[in-house]
Structure 1
Amino acid sequence: MGLIIWLIVIQIAVILHEGAHYLVARMQGAKVSAFSVGMGPIIAKFKAAGTEWRLSALPIGGYVLIDDLGPESLEGQSKSRLTPWGKIAVLFAGPLSNWLLAILLMAGIFSSQGVPQTDYSKAEIHRVLPGSAAEKDGIKEGDLLVAIDGKPLPEQETVDGEPRMGYMKLQDAIRSKEPNTLTFQRGNTTYDVKLSFEWKAGARYGVEYSPKQNVKPVPNYFAALGEAWNQSIKIVPQALQSFAKGITQTFTAPLSPSSEVAGPVASAQAAGALAREGGLWGVLTFATLVNMSLAIFNLIPIPGLDGGRILLVVIQLLMRRPLQPAHEAMINFTGFVFLMVFMMLVFLGDIIRVIP
């Protein structure tokens, strides 16, 4: 089930992405040689509106061939129909389409399910291990840690120059050699636990926890759109940081599963889990994540991605002359090889992750 959901969501996202490239190019009179749904060998095709429409064998991804985006159009015998700004518009249209779809989907989820909000000043207990020190202390699933030694947990603090969320102070208390008093909230009552747990390497207090999750209702879809827009802006720096960390992990520790980047196996598992837990809303949540990730990732200025190709156009604008076709082709090819190696390593890491 997860694999089917993953394939459908990915395919819709890619068709939308490539379709946006196609539409913006055609609006400017550019020639589009081919539009393929899927990759690999062509199993069916027909020609219409000057474009060869293809159905390819592998139902993963797709592509559009826009003649005037190729490096040969810069110094070829025929003048490109696309200006530099026109090329930027074509390249930007793909990620923008995924971004807008993600916002629309997110707004639909928010208007129906409410806006999830994280309260980092409270640690919510999700599980207490049987026979553990936490169980002996009377801690139960659903309890909220609200204070340590009478001091409320902060939303955020700075530790060694790095920002750190307040709920993580529970870990500090558990590992502390000094006795601490934990204040928990259970329903409308509070109770204190005098922590006498002696931590050492490998020891476990016996709780699984995370920051408190709240849900903020919204009155209508338009209000949800505003919330979705705000959330999409907040996601960008976090996503870029995750991509950068994931790429670094992938190349510095090859074949080790990355905690920041998921390949097709992990993504299919996530799609299945979201569908089981949330039904249709879980699937829409997965589609939102895929489209947002596709939009942000494609705008990273790596040659071969839309962001990298936009950067090349900007460089040519600043230089006031086009790059040599062979140079531009080599830059894009190098980026393509980098991406293929990266994707292969992520996929192999995925396989290793699921091997018992």
Structure 2
Amino acid sequence: MGLIIWLLVIQIAVILHEGAHYLAARMQGAKVSAFSVGMGPIIARFKRGETEFRLSALPIGGYVLIDDLGPESLEGQKKARLTPLGKILVLFAGPLSNWVLAILLMAGIFASQGVPQTDYTRASIRRVLPDSAAEKDGVKAGDILIAIDGKPLPEQEIVDGQPRMGYLKLQDAIRSKEPNTLIFLRGNEKINVKLSFEWKPGARYGVEYGPKQNVKPVANYFAALGEAWNQSIKIVPQALQSFAKGITQTFTAPLAPSSEVAGPVASAQAAGAMAREGGIWGVLTFATLVNMSLAIFNLIPIPGLDGGRILLVLIQLLLRRPLQPAQEAMINFTGFVFLMVFMFLVFLGDIARVIP
């Protein structure tokens, strides 16, 4: 089930992305030689106007071939119908379409389910393992940690020069050699729990926890759109930092599981889990994450991605001359090789996750 959901969501996102490139090019009169749904061997095709529409065997993506975006269109030839600004608009249209869809989906989720808000000053106990030290101490799933030894949890603190959210102080208390008292909210009642756990490497207290999640209702879909827009802006720096960290981890420790990037296996598992837990809203949430990630990732200025190709156009504008076709082809080929190696390493990391 997870694999089917993942394939459908990915394929719809890619068709939308490539379709936006196609429409932006055609609206400017540029020639589009081919539009393929899927990758690999072509199993069906038909031609309409100058464009050959293809259905390819592998349902894991798609592509458009826009003649005026190729290196040969940068030599000042009369047949090139896209200006530098036109090329940027064509390249930007793909990520923009995924961004817009992500915002619309997010707004629908917010209008129906409310706006999720994370409270990092509370630690929510999601699960207590049977026969664990936590169960013996009386901790229960649903308890909300609000203080340790009478001190409220901070929103954020600096640990070893890095910011850390306050709910993670529960980990400090569990590992502390000093006796600590945890203060929980259980419904409307305050519960004091004295830790009896003596931590040592490899030992587990027996709780799964995270920051408390609140929900803020919204009045209507238009109010939800505003919330979705604000959330999408906040996501950008976090996503860029996550991508940068994920790329670094992938190349420095390719077989080590990474929390920053996920390949097809981990993504399919996540899609299945979100569908089981949230039903249709879980699927829509997964689709929102996929489209937002696709939009942001494609705008990273790496050769071969839309962002990298936009950067090449801007460089040529600054130089006031086009790059040589061989130069541009080599730059894009280098970026393509980098992306293929990156995707392969991510796939290996995925395999390492599921094989002990």
Q: Same fold judged by TM-score > 0.5? A: yes
The residue correspondences of 1:1-356 to structure 2 (distance < 5 A) are: 1-75=1-75, 77-356=77-356
* Cα distance in 2, alignment partners of residues 69 and 161 from structure 1: 46
3-state DSSP of counterpart to 1:135: helix
* Cα distance in 1, alignment partners of residues 7 and 215 from structure 2: 30
Kept in 2: contact 1:257–1:346 (CA 8 A): no
Kept in 2: contact 1:38–1:55 (CA 8 A): yes
* Cα distance in 2, alignment partners of residues 198 and 354 from structure 1: 32
Kept in 2: contact 1:103–1:229 (CA 8 A): yes
* Cα distance in 2, alignment partners of residues 307 and 160 from structure 1: 35
RMSD: 1.3
Q: Give the Å deviation of 1:33.
A: 0.8
Kept in 1: contact 2:106–2:285 (CA 8 A): yes
* Cα distance in 2, alignment partners of residues 72 and 231 from structure 1: 41
Q: Give the Å deviation of 1:278.
A: 1.3
3-state DSSP of counterpart to 1:134: helix
Kept in 2: contact 1:243–1:261 (CA 8 A): yes
3-state DSSP of counterpart to 2:321: coil
* Cα distance in 2, alignment partners of residues 273 and 131 from structure 1: 26
Bigger mean CA deviation after superposition, 205-214 or 254-263: 254-263
Question: What amino acid sits opposite 2:339 in the alignment?
Answer: L
Q: Give the Å deviation of 1:195.
A: 2.5
Bigger mean CA deviation after superposition, 41-50 or 329-338: 41-50
Q: Give the Å deviation of 1:204.
A: 2.0
Kept in 1: contact 2:133–2:196 (CA 8 A): no
Q: Give the Å deviation of 1:355.
A: 2.1
Q: Give the Å deviation of 1:131.
A: 2.5
Kept in 1: contact 2:143–2:186 (CA 8 A): yes
Where does structure 1 lack aligned partners over 5 or more consecutive residues?
none
3-state DSSP of counterpart to 2:16: helix
3-state DSSP of counterpart to 1:199: coil
* Cα distance in 2, alignment partners of residues 171 and 257 from structure 1: 22
Kept in 1: contact 2:263–2:350 (CA 8 A): yes
What's the CA shift string for 1:205-251, capped at 9, x where partnerless? 22211110111111110011111111111111111111111111111
Identity, in percent, stands at 88
Kept in 1: contact 2:153–2:166 (CA 8 A): yes
